[in-house]
Amino acid sequence: MTRIFVAGKSGQVAQALLEAVSARGFDVACFGRPELDICDAHAVRQAVAAFKPDVVINAAAYTAVDQAESDEAAAMAVNAGGAANLAAAAHAAGVPFLHISTDYVFDGTKQGAYVENDPTAPAGAYGRSKLAGEQAVMAANPDALIFRTAWVYSAKGKNFAKTMLMLAEKRDQLGVVADQFGNPTYAADIAAALLNVATALLADSNWRRQAGVYHLAGTGDTSWCDFARAIFAAGARHGHPVPTVSAIGTADYPTPAKRPANSRLDGGKLAATFNIRLPAWQDSVVNCVDRLFADGSFGSNRN
C-alpha cells in the first residue's frame, strides 16, 4: 500500500489531501502541531523515518498574509525553515517531495499568465517567505517538485467562498475588488492533482527527472468580483440569498499586505509533463458550493 506523509493538518489543502488519500485507499498520516513542529529538523527527520513514506507532501504553511507584514520572522520560520527540514528528510529517505507554493512569489505586474521561469519579485512578507521556501527546498532537495497555486478555497476552513456565502446572509449589497485577477483553485482539485503526480512519480524509476517548479491552479481566470458572483449564483441554486455585487478597486479595500494585481498562473507545464489540467474554475465553484450545502454548512440543514 502506498504511504503518504502529509505535513500540515488543519489547512485547506491538508484536509483535502486527507480525504482524497483515504478515498484512494492509500495509507496516510497527517502531521501538524502539536504532534510535529516542522521547524524542528530533528523531529521532522525522525517522523519521516518512522513512518517510512513513499511520498512526502508539504501542505503546512504560515498563510496569514496580512499578519506576516508585522511578523515576517514567524512566516520565514515555517515557510522557509520548516519547508527545508521536510525537503531534507524526504531526500534522506530517498522519496519524492511535493511542496506547495504560491502566486505571491510574483509582483503581479505581468500582463499575461505567469509561467514557471518568469522572474520572481514578491511584494510582501508572505511572498518573500514562500520564495525563500522554494529556494530552501531546492537547496535541501534537488529532486523536489514545487507547485505554485493561487486563490485557494474549499468546503473546510476560512476562505473566500465561505466568507461570501456568510456575507450573503447578512447583507443585500457588497463591494468586491474587480481589478485583481487570478485563478480560483479548489483545494479538492489540488489534492487530486498532487496524488496523480505522486502516483506517476512512483511508477517512474527515473522520477527525479521531473524535479522543478510547476503551476497548479484552476483553469481559466477571473476577478474577485466575478468570482463572488459565481459563488452567489451557485448558492442561489440552493435558495441562498444573492446580494447585489458592486465592483470596487484595490484602493477602496486597503490591506496591510499588497495583493498582486495579476495572479494568473499558466498550467501548461503541468499538463505537458503529467497530462494534468485542473477543471474550469466555474465548475469547481459549483462543486464546492454544492458540498457546503450538502454537509449542512449552509441552507436549511445547517449544522
Task: List, by residue number, the catalytic residues.
Answer: 126
With cell 504553511, the residue in question is 61
Q: How many CB atoms lie within 10 A of CB 153?
A: 27
Distance CA 13, CA 188 (A): 7
Distance CA 142, CA 91 (A): 8
User: How many Cα atoms within 13 Å fall on the side-chain side of residue 266?
Assistant: 12
Phi, psi for 42 (deg, rounded to 5): -65, -45
Q: What is the pairing mode between strands 181-182 and 222-223?
A: antiparallel
